Structure 1
Amino acid sequence: MSILQLNDVNTFYGGIHALKGISLKVEKGEIVTLIGCNGAGKSTTLKTISGQVIPKTGTVLYEDKNISKQPAHITAQTGIAHVPEGRRIFPKLTVKENLEMGAFAIKDKKDIKESMDRVFEYFPRLHERLTQKGGTMSGGEQQMLAMGRALMSKPRLLLLDEPSMGLAPVIVEQIFDIISDLNKEGMTILLVEQNAYQALQVAHRGYVIQTGEIVMTGLGADLIKNDQVREAYLA
């Protein structure tokens, strides 16, 4: 069953046609990756799904409901969590306060504690840094915090935008191991990633986007062997 489906989505920034008839789907329980060069429309796709950008035409269906015109704060309460490019944590808030911001729609304190305990299972380092200000943490720790904050809302669909950006290789490996673990536990993930090799290794399926258009799709294992993909993104 498709948890997410985009049908002929056209998104604009003023006069700039950023997404040109994008169609894609994510089945429940999958990791699907969207790869492409800088400026290809990857982040815009995620922003269109989460409601930060409203498409001019086309539909975004989440669990068979049309959310194309839905404001971002409403979408965030319906089971979609978006980890944006560049992490976007609250630098002056502590780790604990950042995580609590991710649970803004949860009223039951017991549920919040359960969510936080689950985050600490994935990211034990966050538990060690509980009272530390987010802005004083390393890049890898901030990425963990951004992902942990998203998990606090108990999402059914996780949107990850460039989780490996600017991180040391050993931290990248850790982040992708956690992405795989989340998926094994049932989390559906749409992953935008410039590190195409890492993304295709963990993804069930992938889409290649160029200048706002989907130009190729296939199984992750097939795309990683594709000559065009290898030349353009894996060389």
Structure 2
Amino acid sequence: MSAPVLELINVNTYYGKIHALKGVSLTVEQGEIVTLIGSNGAGKTTTLRTISGLLRPRQGDIRLNGVSTLTLPPHKIVEKGVGHVPEGRGIFPALTVLENLEMGAFLVRDSAEIDRRLALVFSIFPRLQERMHQRGGTLSGGEQQMLAIGRALMQLPAILLLDEPSMGLAPLLVEEIFNIIRKLNSEQGTTILLVEQNAQAALQIANRAYVLETGRILMSGPAQELLHDPRIIEAYLGL
């Protein structure tokens, strides 16, 4: 049996003396969408930043395809196949759409390969092709989110980390972004770890879910089971 694409084992991360992640363990298997849900301040973004090497855990291990990444700097973790779409999108507003996407392929030296990856991203996001020479900062919120995801896809990541992709978007755009995430998984085979405040939408598209509260995993299981769990409904779905 092959190792999970991503595995966190008893990860403890601190901000100074603040114990932010307390023994977090989770796995993401090849081809899955796994969602991490929880309230504000639960540690969801901290988990993704720890996976990407932007924060260093004091205890525990993080493995990508069975190999520890703890000693690697963030750019080496990117090389190993972790694509991170941060909260707030983090695009380069002064650069064009094309330049933003090319930044996602900064490790690639073959121009023909970059063109191939651009064609793939434009097939997923035709709107980005239409706005190829437009500055990133002039795009709508939904288009900026597409650009942030497209930039990460230029790496051809082994796993895509998505941090609050629906944040600040109108309901119709939220639906569009979640449809895109579902298609990335079903049509491109992209493995995804999704952090999302909109628990209902996340659970509807995920295979499995973990519930994070004050830095600890409280529950985990098949997403459809958690979607109908009375405790989840009361605490996170507002129903």
**Fold in common (TM above 0.5):** yes
Matched ranges for 1:108-127 at <5 A: 108-127=110-129
Matched ranges for 1:60-99 at <5 A: 60-99=62-101
Give the corresponding residue for 2:193: 190
Determine what percentage of the aligned residue pairs are the same residue. Answer: 59
Give the corresponding residue for 1:40: 42
Match among 214, 217, 230 for residue 214 of structure 1: 217
TM-superposed CA distance for 1:173, in Å, is 1.0
Letter in 2 for 1:74: K
Matched ranges for 1:98-109 at <5 A: 98-109=100-111
* Partners of 2:165 and 2:10 in 1: CA distance: 27
Letter in 2 for 1:130: M
* Partners of 1:44 and 1:74 in 2: CA distance: 19
CA-based RMSD of the aligned residues comes to 0.7
TM-superposed CA distance for 1:215, in Å, is 0.2
- Paired residues of 1:10 and 1:19 also in contact (CA < 8 A): yes
Give the corresponding residue for 1:224: 227
TM-superposed CA distance for 1:95, in Å, is 0.3
How many residue pairs get matched?
235
With normalisation by structure 2, the TM-score equals: 0.97
Q: Does 1:9 align with 2:8?
A: no
Letter in 2 for 1:165: M
* Partners of 2:17 and 2:140 in 1: CA distance: 38
Where does structure 1 lack aligned partners over 5 or more consecutive residues?
A: none
* Partners of 2:71 and 2:138 in 1: CA distance: 37
Where does structure 2 lack aligned partners over 5 or more consecutive residues?
A: none
With normalisation by structure 1, the TM-score equals: 0.99
TM-superposed CA distance for 1:69, in Å, is 2.8
* Partners of 2:135 and 2:109 in 1: CA distance: 24
